[in-house]
Amino acid sequence: GRAFSFATKVNNFGVVVGYSNTGGLMSAFIKFHDNSPMTEIPPLAGILSFAVGVNDAGIVIGSHYPYGNPIDYISFAYSTSTGAFTEIKDGNLYALVTAINNRGEIVGTKTSGTFIYKNGIMKDLNQLIPPDSGWWLTGDGLNNNLGQIVSSAVLNGQSQYVLLTPVATARK
């Protein structure tokens, strides 16, 4: 295969993530701002993988294919500072991460639609919107540092994107 690299995200400190193919295998990489070489994410060395996001704390998100089959992917979060590697799954089902913000909130797509993942807990966003709204959040989530999430959605058979803004909950 032909050698290439593709950057998918850069954080505010110049840390770049993406994927590259230099030896016939697509691998997730990190490139720090200090002119160090582009390197594979250590737990994923030699495994088909790609990185799609990085926040200012250096948490990298992406997916890997431990079985070599592009259908059997497992998403991950990797800390560049501690080396902690966390697989992000919905039980035994697959979940595809798409974005991370500086609050550590990860969003993505799973079988039932868009999700948010924080502190080891995955929440289905379809369970957090009013059930009588008619909306079905289908995935492709993006998020910002205010906690807002953009998701593809369907209403009355029409597909479009929606902006979800968190509401403050009253403390009792």
Tens digits of per-residue pLDDT, 23-79? 667 888 888 888 888 888 877 777 888 999 999 999 999 998 877 666 678 899 999
What are 7's two structure tokens?
Answer: 């950057």
Single pTM value for the model: 0.89
- For the segment 88-118, what is each residue's pLDDT rounded down to a tens digit? 988 767 789 999 999 999 999 988 899 999 9
Strand partners, 59: 79
Has residue 119 got a pLDDT over 80? yes
pLDDT value at residue 172 = 55
168 pLDDT band, cuts 50/70/90, is confident
Q: Tell me what the mean pLDDT of segment 114-135 comes to.
A: 93
Angstrom distances, CA of residue 119 to CA of 5, 16, 35, 41, 85:
31, 24, 32, 21, 13
97 or 140, higher pLDDT: 97
pLDDT value at residue 92 = 66
